[in-house]
Every structure is written in C-alpha cells, then in structure tokens.
Amino acid sequence: MNLKINVPKNPALAVKMLINAGFEAGVVGGCTRDAIIGEIPHDWDICTSATPVEIQLVFKEFKQLTIGLKHGTVIIIIDNEQIEITTYRIDGEYSDGRRPDEVAFTRNLLEDLSRRDYTQNAIFFNEFVGIIDPFNGVLDIENKIIRCVGNPNKRLQEDALRILRGIRFASKLGFEIEKATKTAMFENKELLKNVSEERITEEFVKILQGKDALNILDEFKEIIAFIIPETKAMMGLNQHNPYHVYDVWEHTLVAVNNTDGLILKLAMFFHDIGKPSCFSIDEQGLGHFYGHADVSFKIASEIFKRMKMTCAQGISGNDLTHILELIKYHDVIIEPRKKSVKKMLSKLNGNVEQFQRLLSVKRADALAQSPDKLTDKLKQIEDIEVILMEVLAENPCTTLKDLAINGNDLIELGIPAGKKIGEILNQLLEDVINENLPNEKELLLTVVQKYMNYR
C-alpha cells in the first residue's frame, strides 16, 4: 500500500525516537482514519511495542504526564504539545459489557489492531513501513462503509458503547453501516443499559450534529428510542392536520436538519417531544396538541437532567437554559409589529441573540411543515427580523434594568421596601412595553404617586 499520511512534526519525531530505540511505533486510530478521509485529525495518537516504562525511558529528556499509565498511556510534551503514546494492548474479558476487566500489554501490533472497534479505526501508519491495515479499513473508507473488526455480535457485546460510536461515524461521515454490523447493533441495543449516561450523551450529541443525522436518526430510531424512551411515542404519530406532511418524529428530524449549531439542533430535537401526550382529535377529525410546548419543556428538562447533558462537549448550563426557553416559546405567536416584538424580547430578558435563535427555531419548524403557506410564514419571520432591528435601534426598554426608575426611587416616594416595589416596577415595565407609558423618569414617578394617592 503506498498511501502516504503527512504526520506533523512533533508526533513524527516521537515515532522516530521510538523506532530508533529499537521499538515498533506509528500513528493509529482516529488520526489515521481522518487523514485518509481527507479531514484534519484533531490529535495524533501513537501506539508502540514499547512498554510504558520503556516509553518513559526513551523520552526521559521530555516532560511527561503519567495519568494514563495503568492503561499503557504515557503523555509526552514536545514543544508544548501533548502527545499520547500507548503500548500495544490486548483487552481482557469484558464481563460488564462496557470495560475490559484487565488490559494486557503485547509486542504484537496485530493483536492491538484486533481490539479496535471499526475497520476504519484499526489502521496503522509510519513512514518506514507505510500503512498496515489487516482488516481492510482503507477499502471500507473508500467504499464509505462502517464495519466492525471481527465478529460484530461479539464486539458489540464486549462494549455496547461501540453501537453509538458506529452510528456517530455514520452520521458524521455519511457512511453506510455494513449489514452484519447493523443487525448486531439492533440485536444488542439493550446492552446500552450498561453504558453510563455521560458517554451515551456524548455520542448522542455528536450523532445529532452529523451531516447525515436526518437519515441516520431515522434508520436507527429503535436505538434512539432505547436511549431516550420518550421519543418512541413520536415515531409514526400522525398529526391529522393539513399543516403537517410528516409524522411527529419525521417533522422533528427535518426540523433538526434545518438548523445549524448544537443549541438549535437540541432545541429542535426536543421541541415537540410533548406532542404525544397532548394529542387530541376534534369532531372534524383534525389533530391538535394544545399546550404541547409547555409539556415539551417539562419532559426535556427531565431528560436533560437524566442524560447529564452538561457533561457533553460544547454544552454549558447556560446553553441548556437557552435550549429549554426555545422549546417553551417555539410556538408563541410573534406578530410583525413593534409592540409584539418588544414583548417577546422582554420575555427573553432582552437577549437579542436568543431572540434571533427563536426566529431560527420558527423558521426550521415552518420548513418542516406543509409547503402550503410556507412563503407567507417565512416572509413573516423576515419581517419580524427587520422590526427587531428597528426596535433595537430605538434602545428599547425591555427589562427592569432599562426602566427609567428603580426600587430606590420608589422607596424615596415612601413605599416600604419589599414585594410591593417589585410588583409596581413590573407593572410599569409592562405598561412601557405596551406603549401605554413612555419610559421617562418624571412621568413614571407621577404615575406612581397618583397610584399611591388612590389607595
């Protein structure tokens, strides 16, 4: 095989030093896969026949981190770059369907490559021997196929997380999962109960962001329903409504596909999860989902906690609050008028970015409904966007912070500190947003004084 991989300077140096010291060494795993696919690897993992102690000796002049030593990994720092070097390994028995009971080191590369999950992840390279690819991973990459190394049933039973890793690669790369591997994924899906929520969530979030998420989530919906059981009732739920051309599940996936970025994709994935429990059908045979946004909000909050969503890469607690807010308001009508836009902006605590996200949610939602009236709906969203800009140019008052008077002003008027102050300020804010009062200090104070005299 004359495929050449351009390994950057620092990992190439580490490989060379190991080889010069008489060991085998090369890059392996995700980096080799990504390089062959033509993507830039995010890190370069090195594997070697040297034992951890031997690795430490070879790099004795370099700073080292030994946190992974038990698993055979030594991290070497070259030019401030951390490089992971792992001894060839054989995984022992898997009795918990997740982690090998023990790992044993080996001098045999083939044994190390055999323990890896998919053929595309079991390719070794160094510039002296070239590619070593005993399971034809390169061919599978060329044919865009994801295939387990060895017997898929056995491999997925050893570690059920591999099921989700495989689905993630398919979603990210737009590859097909080979038939026997796919069958084994479905047959062993229940073993995912042995995998921690954190790891499931990490994979789920990546699956959601893949370029082929739309097809893959649908193809593997039984597995998604296993990890998020609340989705099951969405699948095949006919909406009995001319506004909809898709069932709730298909609508959800198309909506996810119509957005960019994790916050919006998560918001779309969960925005209608409350629909199944809100479904009713009227005398004309039309389907309705009254109150579903609030129910979706509640169900999604529970799921996010259970799935430990903030442990996933790229999601903060703040992001989750925003996602839940988008779910809650996805169906609220915003009219293309200043007053209505200001009201919504106020509900979102004046957060303009969140307002824009809400418009993206509405756009994605509309695009996943019937094409009938779609142009009107999109036009309206565009109009709202224009009005939002106009409103912002006027420096609008949308939160208590923007109000021309504050609690101290009211205390000076003789109103005792306490709950009443908040009530009055909120009432004034509402009147200002509704354009019943201008946001001017003197005037607002006069209004409060009048109110006090009336009491």
Among 24, 112, 117, 325, binds ligand ATP (CB under 6 A): 117
161 vs 234, which CB is nearer to ligand ATP?
A: 161
202 binds ligand ATP (CB under 6 A): no
84 vs 230, which CB is nearer to Mg ion?
A: 84
Instruction: Supply the minimum distance, in Å, between the C-beta of residue 377 and ligand ATP.
Output: 38
Instruction: Supply the minimum distance, in Å, between the C-beta of residue 45 and ligand ATP.
Output: 6
Structure tokens at 66: 């030994």
| Burial class of residue 102, CB neighbours in 10 A (0-12, 13-18, 19+) | exposed
Structure tokens at 186: 């479905």
User: Closest residue (Cβ) to Mg ion?
Assistant: 30
Residue span 259-288 as binding mask against Mg ion, x where in contact by CB under 5 A, dash where not: ------------------------------
Which range of residues in 25-33, 105-113, 355-363, 422-430 is near Mg ion by CB under 5 A? 25-33
Q: Which does 121 bind (CB under 5 to 8 A by kind): ligand ATP, Mg ion, none?
A: ligand ATP
Q: Which does 26 bind (CB under 5 to 8 A by kind): Mg ion, ligand ATP, none?
A: none
Structure tokens at 83: 């490089």
Task: Give the orientation angle of helix 352-367 with respect to helix 374-393, to 10 degrees.
Answer: 170
Which range of residues in 156-164, 315-323, 332-340, 418-426 is near ligand ATP by CB under 6 A? 156-164
Q: Identify residue 342 by its one-letter amino acid code.
A: K
Instruction: Supply the minimum distance, in Å, between the C-beta of residue 121 and Mg ion.
Output: 9
Contact status, residue 165 vs residue 117, Cβ threshold 8 Å? yes
Q: Identify residue 188 by its one-letter amino acid code.
A: N
- From first CA to last CA, the distance across the chain in angstroms is 90
User: Closest residue (Cβ) to ligand ATP?
Assistant: 30
Q: Which does 112 bind (CB under 5 to 8 A by kind): Mg ion, ligand ATP, none?
A: none
162 binds ligand ATP (CB under 6 A): yes
234: Cα separation from own chain's centroid: 20
Instruction: Supply the minimum distance, in Å, between the C-beta of residue 418 and Mg ion.
Output: 57
Instruction: Supply the minimum distance, in Å, between the C-beta of residue 363 and ligand ATP.
Output: 31
3-state secondary structure of 61: coil
Residues 20-49 touching ligand ATP, rule: CB under 6 A, are 29-30, 45
Q: Which does 117 bind (CB under 5 to 8 A by kind): ligand ATP, Mg ion, none?
A: ligand ATP
**Running DSSP on this structure, what letter comes out for residue 316?**
-
Q: Which does 366 bind (CB under 5 to 8 A by kind): Mg ion, ligand ATP, none?
A: none
3-state secondary structure of 103: strand
Phi, psi dihedral angles at 62 (to 5 degrees): -110, 155
Q: How far apart are CA 299 and CA 316, in angstroms?
A: 19
Q: Identify residue 275 by its one-letter amino acid code.
A: K
Residues 328-387 touching Mg ion, rule: CB under 5 A, are none
68 binds Mg ion (CB under 5 A): no
Phi, psi dihedral angles at 64 (to 5 degrees): -135, 150
40 vs 393, which CB is nearer to ligand ATP?
A: 40
- Rounded to a whole number of angstroms, the CA Rg of the chain reads 29
- Ramachandran class of 304: left when φ > 0, alpha when ψ lies in -120 to 50, beta otherwise: alpha
Instruction: Supply the minimum distance, in Å, between the C-beta of residue 426 and ligand ATP.
Output: 48
Among 30, 68, 150, 336, binds Mg ion (CB under 5 A): 30
What is the secondary structure of 203-256 as a DSSP string? HHHHHHHSTTHHHHHHHTHHHHHHHSGGGGGGTT----STT-SS-HHHHHHHHH
89 binds ligand ATP (CB under 6 A): no
94 vs 451, which CB is nearer to ligand ATP?
A: 94
Neighbour tally for 414: CB within 10 Å: 8
Q: Is the dihedral of CA 365, 371, 373, 379 positive or negative?
A: positive
Q: Which residue ranges make up the site for Mg ion (CB under 5 A)?
A: 30
Q: Which residue ranges make up the site for ligand ATP (CB under 6 A)?
A: 29-30, 45, 116-117, 121-122, 159, 161-162
